[in-house]
Every structure is written in C-alpha cells, then in structure tokens.
C-alpha cells in the first residue's frame, strides 16, 4: 500500500507531466522551460528538481506516457476482439488491424511531441541513447501484443514478433506524422495508417 508521501509525490509528478504537455502544445519542446512548466503546475523549481533531474528527463517521461496510452488502448482493443471471437479463423487481417488501430490513443499533440523528441535525440547522443532504450521497451510491449494475437487465433508469423513490432511501429509513426502535416484531426490520424498497416501485416503472417 502506498504511503501519503508516495501518493503526494506521484500526484506532483503527474501534475508536472500534465503541465509539460500543455506548455509543449503552446510553445514546443524548446520553448517549454522548467520555469514555464512549474508556473503552469503551481510548483516551485525545487519541487520540479525533487522529481526530475532535468527537462530532458521530464519530456522523456512524457513521451513514455504518450506511448503507454497508445499501447494500452491497443491492448484493450485486442482483449475485447479476442473475447468477441474476432480473431477466429477466416478473419480479414486488414479489417482486423483497422478495428484495433482506429480506437488507439494517437492524437496530433502526441505526434508533435514524439517528432520533436526524436529531433532532440538526433542532436544529443546522450538523450538519443535514453530515447532508444525507451523505444526498445515500447517495441517489446507491441511484440507481446502480437504474440497474444497469434496465440488467440489461427494466424502464424513469418518472422519474429519483435521484428514485426518494429516494422509496424515505423510504418505507423510515418503515416501519423504525414497525416498531422496534412492537417488531419485525431480520428483521421488513426484512420490514415490503418489500411497500410493491415497490408504490411498481410506480408508477414500466414493464415
């Protein structure tokens, strides 16, 4: 059971992350200073630095939160489809992927955040190394979902689940970035890549 001090610390971190997302949406990664985030959250710099070592750590955690929302939404949808029998023999891979991804957690703000964080990672090797560790964890989560889908139905993979997960993630990220550039709203963003993702799935599964 968590103590009051632990709950207070978790609440502080959550408020700082929420404030960081709001400030980022307004001014971008470079403009989202520690001071601006603290002011929005209603905390002092001392409170910030008792929870995060730097702005880089804060935004890496925010990126992890965005990624977890995506993965959790996909996992929940897969569990629902499994319970409904949608993964039974004869299912259409493209339709299945669309049903899974179009209820995901992607939105324009998340796409913008991840894009700016990748640019930061390209410029700073230390930040880039931390980002790659985080990305590897996300790939592992996606691979586990793929394995769960395979174990629940008649589908067989032609390649390792981790390889498939990385390919799917790269395609999905590319499609959502281009959709955001084209001015698509959140629902359109999720729809824009689902058909292409389904076609990719067709290439590495056996029915």
pLDDT for 117-134, tens place per residue? Answer: 999 999 999 999 999 999
Q: Which residues contact 96 (CB under 8 A, 6 or more apart)?
A: 81, 86, 87, 198, 201
Cα(169)–Cα(161) distance, integer angstroms: 12
Q: Which residues contact 58 (CB under 8 A, 6 or more apart)?
A: 16, 17, 20, 37, 48, 52
User: Is residue 73 pLDDT above 80, yes or no?
Assistant: yes
Q: What is residue 15's predicted lDDT score, i.e. its pLDDT?
A: 93
Q: What angle do CA 2, 141, 192 make, to 5 degrees?
A: 120
Q: What is residue 105's predicted lDDT score, i.e. its pLDDT?
A: 62
- 53-62, 84-93, 143-152, 154-163: lowest mean pLDDT where? 84-93
CA distances from 150 to 73, 96, 162, 197 (A): 18, 13, 13, 17
- pTM of the entire structure? 0.83
Where in the chain does DSSP place strands (E)?
Answer: 156-157, 205-206
Q: Which residues contact 98 (CB under 8 A, 6 or more apart)?
A: 191, 194, 195, 198
Cα(152)–Cα(147) distance, integer angstroms: 9
């Amino acid at each position: 059971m968590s103590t009051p001090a632990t709950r207070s610390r978790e609440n502080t971190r959550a408020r700082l992350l929420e404030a960081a997302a709001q400030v980022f949406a307004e001014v971008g990664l470079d403009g989202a200073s520690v001071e601006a985030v603290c002011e929005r959250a209603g905390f002092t710099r001392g409170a910030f630095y008792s929870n995060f070592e730097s702005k880089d750590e804060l935004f890496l955690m925010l990126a992890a939160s965005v990624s977890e929302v995506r993965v959790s939404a996909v996992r929940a949808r897969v569990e629902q489809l499994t319970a409904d029998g949608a993964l039974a023999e004869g299912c259409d891979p493209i339709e299945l992927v669309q049903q899974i991804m179009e209820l995901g957690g992607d939105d324009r703000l998340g796409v913008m955040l991840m894009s700016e964080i990748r640019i930061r990672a390209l410029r700073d090797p230390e930040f880039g190394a931390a980002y790659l560790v985080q990305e590897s964890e996300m790939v592992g989560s996606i691979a586990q979902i793929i394995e769960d889908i395979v174990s629940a139905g008649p589908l067989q993979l032609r390649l390792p689940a981790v390889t498939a997960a990385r390919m799917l993630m790269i395609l999905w990220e590319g499609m959502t970035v281009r959709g955001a550039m084209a001015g698509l709203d959140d629902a359109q963003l999720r729809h824009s890549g689902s058909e292409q993702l389904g076609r990719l799935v067709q290439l590495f599964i056996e029915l």
